[in-house]
Amino acid sequence: MHTNATIDPEGTLATLDIGGKKLQVEILNAPNGATFAKTDPVRYSDDPALPTGQTDQQNPGVSVLTIDLPAGKYSLQVLFSPQWDGMKSSDFVKPAAVALSGWTVDSHN
């Protein structure tokens, strides 16, 4: 995820902060080895080439929140929780884990 916020990754949790406003991001039911990382917004060496004569634009002040995983197949659940003023941790509820085939309008209540 590209963002102008500062990123503080700590294992399966990451905190983003921009102007004193915070967002907590969590990998729910994280598989072994899954961790958040902060990277620069640059093209990887194995990304598709740009069209002839084109160059990447600079992204000053931008960082990228990534999830590092060992090779394999995964089903990931990532929860984004804004940390609004006046709220306490008990105000945030983790949704139920529901298989994609079981999703409905209210399946996560």
- Give me the number of domains the chain comprises: 1
Residue-number span of the structural domain to which 14 is assigned: 2-44+60-102
- Indicate whether 89 pLDDT > 80: no
In a domain, 17, yes or no: yes
Tell me whether residue 107 is in a domain: no
Q: What is the pLDDT of residue 42?
A: 92
Q: Is residue 19 within 8 Å of 62, Cβ to Cβ?
A: no
Asked whether residue 88 is domain-assigned, the answer is: yes
Q: Tell me: the pLDDT tens digits for 25-81? A: 999 989 999 999 999 999 888 999 999 999 998 899 999 999 999 999 988 999 999
The reported pLDDT for the residue numbered 65 is 98
Q: What is the mean pLDDT of residues 74-97?
A: 85
Assess if residue 108 is contained within a domain.
no
Gap between the Cα atoms of 105 and 109, Å rounded: 9
**What's the half-sphere exposure (Cβ side, CA atoms, 13 Å) at 41?**
15
Q: What single-letter DSSP state applies at residue 71?
A: S
pLDDT at 87: 82
Per-residue pLDDT at 26: 96
